[in-house]
Chains A and B, each alone.
Chain A
Amino acid sequence: MPQNKIKKQLLIFSAIMLGGFFVSYVILKKYHNPIAASESAVVIKKDSVTVNELFSEKEDFEKVPNVCNAKASSGKNSYKLTPQIEYGFGITRAIKDIPNYTDLKQVDVTFKCWAQKNVDAVYVISIDDKKGKNLLWDSRPLLCDKPDNWSEQHFTFEVKPKAVNAECSIKIYPWNKSKEEFYLDDITIRYNAVVSVGAAPVVQTSATNFLFDFETAEGLTGGESIKQTTAHSGKMACDLSGGKEYGPLVIKLISDVSSTPLTKIGASVWIYPLTENPNAVLTASITNAKGENVFWDGRTSEGKPFPKGKWTKMNASFFLPPGKCTVNDKIQVNVWNKGRTDLIIDDMEIVYGESADRKGDVSTIDANSIYEKKFVAPKNKPPFKTIYCIRQDVNCTALMGLTPNDDFIAGDFIKDKNNLDEVACIRNGKAELYTYLPDAKQFRATGSKSLSADSLLKTCKALEALKERALFKPTDQLFWGDYLGDKNTEILELNTDWRFDFKITQKDKDGYLILGNVDFKGYTNDYNPKYYEYSRIVSGRFISASKSSLLVISCNCADAKFNGTHCNKFENIPALPNSINVYSFENGIK
């Protein structure tokens, strides 16, 4: 073969490869980009919304008298609507009988339908009060769209709060408007609470803890007494000797530290008495917009063990009566040297308000089911089992330059005997390859490479799964592989919107089944990947040809406004140093 022809063929091949690489890169980039992914989603499960079932009931007509036994979706019986039956089998329930009915927001209706042809009928929900006054009426058309076959239908009715009253009752029934013939079976009604996780009231901002070490007077009013002297920490402290009565004042607008009126203020200060029996009072007060004092409280050191010449801490908790203040009020904290004895104060801490409640709605788990050992895990609802991913003994020194900002592709780019995947780090349009050496148990950089058609094929296979993304949250990162070594494909779902939420799922006949929450084990000290501010996971058969592993790149970010997707300045915190590790699941864990 002439050299030019070979060169030409190689050039064309390379161009195809590069083109393929570019396409895959663009697609993967899109996959990594949550906005792009959400745009492509057909049905988006609302982020941060959870549905909790309060109560459910089923009817399969097996024990209902006078029903039809000519057809059945399950068992032997079904319910037959005929031209003589306009209003079919209805389910009526008093609202007060639904546990936690005040949380009721939705009614889900699922049933099977059989008709020879499409019918003009609807399913109706109706809520009436005890006098029969209708508070809610809604309907959905029945679509028996599989002639001569059972088809399943599912409706969700929204229930307005005003219709949720203990004295009311809910009726759910089919309305055979055109008086046709069709059959219903396996009706399930679910009464649900809907919780918007993201909508949980945020009582506080992140800035509610303050330490004033008096090394500067920043944030303080009246810091004239701060000087270089005996200090609890640093070099500066506030010297209240010589009859000085007031220490520096910390004044804040409540709205700066809380979105709601405060109920509690905690404060502490270190006191160094220069004489015996000091009488220093740690005070908190609130002034409203008119300048009126609406709250004052203080805690004194008098009568307490504050020995001369020794730093002793004083704590105080002030509970604010409800309705006393608004977010527009000002809150002041300071130390009042009531006894006017000589003393030094330092390291004043103030904690405004209390930690916010956990997100979400209350658990609907029936505690008795736990006590009686009858607990059945609801499908795809918490609590999930924890499935651990174990840190592998792999030297990742060669990967230390990688960061979560980078994009990665994993694949068997290099044809060799071990059939292991390589890690390709894509930076500035180049792919740097890293190969695992089984004998040395370490990764090695193998330079920039063109990627093989196999890798693209794998990528394409992976892309197929993007179709399934509609089942996950738009901001989820998804990983595919045989992680459990069971020759099945599991999908890992990682969402870091508000926490490192990592789940392992498997496809089943109804969609996907969440097998459990993924946590990590075997890491050094506290270096659990889920604790880091910024992590990137790359999935591949790095250390075993038959089982997928995870390369986890974990970093902290020093950016003041880090958004979780790109970090400008990484930060190596001693207690949580940036790290790269390989994790694998144990075989067969379910």
Chain B
Amino acid sequence: MYIVLKMELNKAPLPLIPSPQERGRQVSFLKKCITLPIRTNLSYSVQLFLLLFLSVLITSCGNKTGTSGPALSCEMFTVQNIHPITNWQPDSVSNKTIFIDYDNANGGFVIPSAKQVKEGTFTFDFEIKNNTASPQKFYYKLYYQNESYKFPEYDSATGKEHTLAEENFYGSWENTGTAFKEITVEADNSFHTIHDVFRMAGNPRNEERYISNGINNRWQRNPRVGRYSVLLAVVSSTDLTAVPVYIKDIHQKQNGHFITPYYYYLYGDGRQLKNSIVHKSADVIKVTAQPNLGNGIFVNDNSFGGKEFDKSHYCATCGQDSNLYRNAPFQQFINYVDASTKMDNIPVIADVLKDNYSKMDYNWNKSFYTKDELIPTIIQTAKHPCQTVYSDPKEKKIIIKNPGTTYGEWKKESVGVITRHGLMYGKYRVKIKMTELLNKSNVWNGLTNAIWLITQGGGDWNFRRNCVKDGYMATYWGGPDDKRVPAVDYTEIDFEILKTPPYCPDNAFPPLYKNTVADNKNVSNWNTALPDEITNTDDKITVACTNWDMACSEPKNFGIGCNSVPYNGQTYYAHRWDKNYRALTEKKEENDDELFAGKFYYFEIDWRPTEVIWRIGPSPDKMREVGYMNDKITSIANNQMLLIITQEYHNTKWWPGTPYAQDNIPFPANDIPGEIYDLTIE
């Protein structure tokens, strides 16, 4: 075991090879003039120890002031005081956090916006000194990259770039044709400050995939939330010629693939550049999305089947005016309703929650109505935009309500809102007061509270990664005989909360329900008790966490039936009905009162490139995991999605084993409200 440190510059700090697992706030440096060969048979843990040891050594020798870091030298020049962002101040906990500006953002998010910073750009600067005896032309380029939601650039198994690293969100100057910028530095043994600007915007590689009819639809690949790093590369004219075109111009590809500059400089051939300095500021800024829920709800014509619909409920914060079109972060959501939602509903109108509708009420109504008394109906969606959704600018909240119904107008109407700006990945946390689902007798009101991500659609530009093994099911609504295709744009990640039993472990599934007989001469014949497996958790509802992977069987542990998923000290059971079933679901029973009887509760979908974690909790610092899936068992979405919040009626045939059938649950007598207080994506 040995380590060789080859020091070519006497003033240079000691180098640090970044770990392939590099994350967090560690600032790392790569000095091209110094190499650190490590014997390949050195175990990784030993390498890690030595690197940590060296890190301590380095930082104890270098310049640690601010974010500028130490002076970095190569033979021809020295760089110091690199300030990746100079016009955005740290917050109270010394983090630089910027909230995405949703105003006028239909064309895509720009970070920072002109409203946030005067010129609408981040400024950066660094100092450079010419170490030679004559004036020199040097070249610099700045890259940024989302560090929170990325694949590692380096694949330790292959020693090459990670095959999925090209999906990472990185960029440079918006005009990707601006390769390196030239600076001439006098040989005056003095540092010269270079000022420049950049901003983060969608489609930073200006990919054709997101360009149609000559328009760069940057919104189709919005900047991701999370932490960003900045990588500054300063090269000599000689080295510039060695930098490949696809690194100079990130729009370019090599062999049909993008090569990430981070890989090139930190792990690839860029490490061999002799007179170049590459500096990565690992944790420059954190981008968070927190749309103002009081900024209105837009109404999309398409959701209501064209322009001929009732607009009488429009108001300043809900409708179609130009202000709402530009600035509203949400629009009214209309659920897809298919024919399978047809119900023959009991002709009863009741407030299940307030009237304390009992199990006996349920059982009687289930048994003693004749078919011709039933109300044939399908689950309804809003016909009058803005009638059942409100945006409250004062309290910055959105209110949704399932409308009550009356005799002759029987309906169960789903209601909800959807964000208007797509994002890929993020920790979506919603502070919300949704309707209670169970009443005091623990009878279900038939609603499903749902917080879910859905594809932004769009077809090709939003296709998820190819499923090379056997493809995806072509449509999300088709049956098991649907054809398989290599790519689809459909993705969905759900919280669906309703009264239904867990499928797993399956020793007690399906529940054994007694038969009922409509015999009014014997109460016990129609008023049968629910089985133990239901009554044992009578006051609980099920939090169903689902990832729609469209039955792509590529994941290593793709399975059907119940399969255990250990994670973080818990065991989850993921369930898939069959190999063609498009979704994988985990269920956890939770107390209805805790989640929905209080003032609010938090629900979080942590969507990462290789895993999805579902959490709930009373406050952001008390979240607990209720679901976990990773790319070993399911295909994780890698396209742009929108967030939907709904209180929706489901056909309970979708949820086998459910103790209360939707058809046998009364129509709602009163409005059923839900209030959304906050959405934070970080």
- Residues of chain A at the chain B interface (Cβ within 8 Å): 50, 52, 195, 197, 204, 206, 208-209, 266-268, 301, 304-306, 312-315, 317, 349, 351-365, 367, 370-371, 373, 375, 377, 381-386, 496, 498-500, 525-526, 528, 530-534, 556-557, 562-564, 573, 575-576
Residue in chain B with minimal CB distance to A270:
B532
Residue in chain A with minimal CB distance to B536:
A313
| Chain A residues closer than 8 Å to B316, beta-carbon distance | none
Q: How far is the CA of A564 from the CA of B377 in the complex (A)?
A: 35
Partner of A533, one of B358, B411, B520: B520
- B512, A349: Cβ atoms under 8 Å? yes
Q: How far is the CA of A187 from the CA of B198 in the complex (A)?
A: 83
Partner of B407, one of A208, A367, A385: A385
Partner of A355, one of B409, B505, B516: B516
- A305, B507: Cβ atoms under 8 Å? yes
Q: How far is the CA of A362 from the CA of B408 in the complex (A)?
A: 18
- B372, A363: Cβ atoms under 8 Å? yes
Partner of B518, one of A381, A498, A525, A530: A498
Residue in chain A with minimal CB distance to B383:
A371
Additional A-B contacts beyond A315-B512, A359-B370, A367-B378 (11; CB < 8 A): A206-B522, A314-B508, A358-B374, A360-B370, A370-B409, A383-B347, A385-B407, A386-B349, A526-B361, A528-B364, A564-B521
B280 shortest CB reach to chain A, Å = 48
Q: How far is the CA of A534 from the CA of B520 in the complex (A)?
A: 8
A497 shortest CB reach to chain B, Å = 8
- A351, B410: Cβ atoms under 8 Å? no
- A305, B505: Cβ atoms under 8 Å? yes
| CB-CB under 8 A for A351 and B514, given A370-B408, A573-B523 | yes
Q: How far is the CA of A313 from the CA of B347 in the complex (A)?
A: 37
| Chain B residues closer than 8 Å to A305, beta-carbon distance | 505, 507
- B520, A498: Cβ atoms under 8 Å? yes
| Chain B residues closer than 8 Å to A556, beta-carbon distance | 523
- A315, B533: Cβ atoms under 8 Å? yes
B126 at the interface (CB under 8 A from A): no
- A373, B508: Cβ atoms under 8 Å? no
A413 shortest CB reach to chain B, Å = 33
Residue in chain A with minimal CB distance to B343:
A367
- A363, B514: Cβ atoms under 8 Å? no
- A364, B510: Cβ atoms under 8 Å? no
Residue in chain B with minimal CB distance to A571:
B523
- B512, A268: Cβ atoms under 8 Å? yes
B182 shortest CB reach to chain A, Å = 68
With contacts defined as CB atoms under 8 Å apart, how many contacts are there between chain A and chain B in the complex?
Answer: 162
Q: How far is the CA of A368 from the CA of B511 in the complex (A)?
A: 36
- B515, A361: Cβ atoms under 8 Å? no
- B507, A364: Cβ atoms under 8 Å? no
- A375, B408: Cβ atoms under 8 Å? yes
B416 shortest CB reach to chain A, Å = 20
B500 shortest CB reach to chain A, Å = 15
- A363, B344: Cβ atoms under 8 Å? yes
- Residues of A contacting B: mostly: loop
| Chain A residues closer than 8 Å to B533, beta-carbon distance | 313, 315
Residue in chain B with minimal CB distance to A203:
B515
- B517, A360: Cβ atoms under 8 Å? no
| Chain B residues closer than 8 Å to A562, beta-carbon distance | 521-522
- B531, A268: Cβ atoms under 8 Å? yes
Residues 520-555 (chain B) with a chain A CB within 8 angstroms: 520-523, 525, 527-528, 531-533
- B511, A362: Cβ atoms under 8 Å? no
- Residues of B contacting A: mostly: loop
Q: How far is the CA of A220 from the CA of B205 in the complex (A)?
A: 75
- A382, B373: Cβ atoms under 8 Å? yes
| Chain B residues closer than 8 Å to A576, beta-carbon distance | 360, 523
B344 shortest CB reach to chain A, Å = 7
Contact with A along B371-393 (1 / 0, CB 8 A): 11111111010000000000000
Q: How far is the CA of A382 from the CA of B509 in the complex (A)?
A: 38
- B520, A367: Cβ atoms under 8 Å? no
Residue in chain A with minimal CB distance to B573:
A305
- B348, A363: Cβ atoms under 8 Å? no
- B377, A367: Cβ atoms under 8 Å? yes
- B370, A563: Cβ atoms under 8 Å? no
| CB-CB under 8 A for A356 and B371, given A267-B512, A301-B507, A370-B408 | no
- A533, B523: Cβ atoms under 8 Å? yes
| Chain B residues closer than 8 Å to A370, beta-carbon distance | 375, 377, 408-411
A225 shortest CB reach to chain B, Å = 22
Residues 406-435 (chain B) with a chain A CB within 8 angstroms: 407-411
- A360, B373: Cβ atoms under 8 Å? yes
| Chain A residues closer than 8 Å to B523, beta-carbon distance | 531-533, 556, 573, 576
Residue in chain B with minimal CB distance to A501:
B368
| Chain B residues closer than 8 Å to A377, beta-carbon distance | 408
B519 at the interface (CB under 8 A from A): yes
Closest 9 CB pairs of A and B: A360-B370, A383-B347, A499-B368, A382-B373, A360-B371, A526-B360, A209-B514, A375-B408, A304-B507
| CB-CB under 8 A for A359 and B518, given A50-B372, A315-B508, A315-B512 | yes
B269 at the interface (CB under 8 A from A): no
B506 at the interface (CB under 8 A from A): yes
- B347, A382: Cβ atoms under 8 Å? yes
B139 at the interface (CB under 8 A from A): no
Chosen A-B contacts, 7 in total, with CB atoms closer than 8 Å, are A266-B510, A304-B506, A305-B505, A363-B344, A370-B410, A383-B373, A499-B368
| CB-CB under 8 A for A530 and B508, given A208-B515, A209-B515, A556-B523 | no
- B512, A557: Cβ atoms under 8 Å? no
| CB-CB under 8 A for A499 and B349, given A305-B505, A556-B523 | no
| Chain A residues closer than 8 Å to B378, beta-carbon distance | 367
A217 shortest CB reach to chain B, Å = 22
| Chain B residues closer than 8 Å to A301, beta-carbon distance | 507
Q: How far is the CA of A352 from the CA of B505 in the complex (A)?
A: 24
B53 shortest CB reach to chain A, Å = 47
B377 shortest CB reach to chain A, Å = 5
A47 shortest CB reach to chain B, Å = 13
- B358, A353: Cβ atoms under 8 Å? no
Q: How far is the CA of A317 from the CA of B368 in the complex (A)?
A: 26
Residue in chain B with minimal CB distance to A317:
B510
Q: How far is the CA of A570 from the CA of B259 in the complex (A)?
A: 85
- A363, B512: Cβ atoms under 8 Å? no
| Chain A residues closer than 8 Å to B520, beta-carbon distance | 496, 498-500, 533, 564
| Chain B residues closer than 8 Å to A382, beta-carbon distance | 347, 370, 372-373
A248 shortest CB reach to chain B, Å = 18
| Chain A residues closer than 8 Å to B655, beta-carbon distance | none
B314 at the interface (CB under 8 A from A): no
Q: How far is the CA of A306 from the CA of B505 in the complex (A)?
A: 10
Residue in chain B with minimal CB distance to A534:
B521
| Chain B residues closer than 8 Å to A266, beta-carbon distance | 510, 512-513
Contact with A along B170-203 (1 / 0, CB 8 A): 0000000000000000000000000000000000
| Chain A residues closer than 8 Å to B304, beta-carbon distance | none
- A356, B372: Cβ atoms under 8 Å? no
| Chain B residues closer than 8 Å to A499, beta-carbon distance | 367-368, 518, 520
B62 shortest CB reach to chain A, Å = 56
- A206, B525: Cβ atoms under 8 Å? yes
- A531, B375: Cβ atoms under 8 Å? no
- A531, B360: Cβ atoms under 8 Å? yes
B364, B377, B521, most chain A CB atoms within 10 A: B521
B596 at the interface (CB under 8 A from A): no
A7 shortest CB reach to chain B, Å = 51
Residue in chain A with minimal CB distance to B350:
A386
| Chain A residues closer than 8 Å to B348, beta-carbon distance | 386
| Chain A residues closer than 8 Å to B374, beta-carbon distance | 358, 363, 383
B246 at the interface (CB under 8 A from A): no
| Chain B residues closer than 8 Å to A534, beta-carbon distance | 521
Q: How far is the CA of A270 from the CA of B511 in the complex (A)?
A: 13
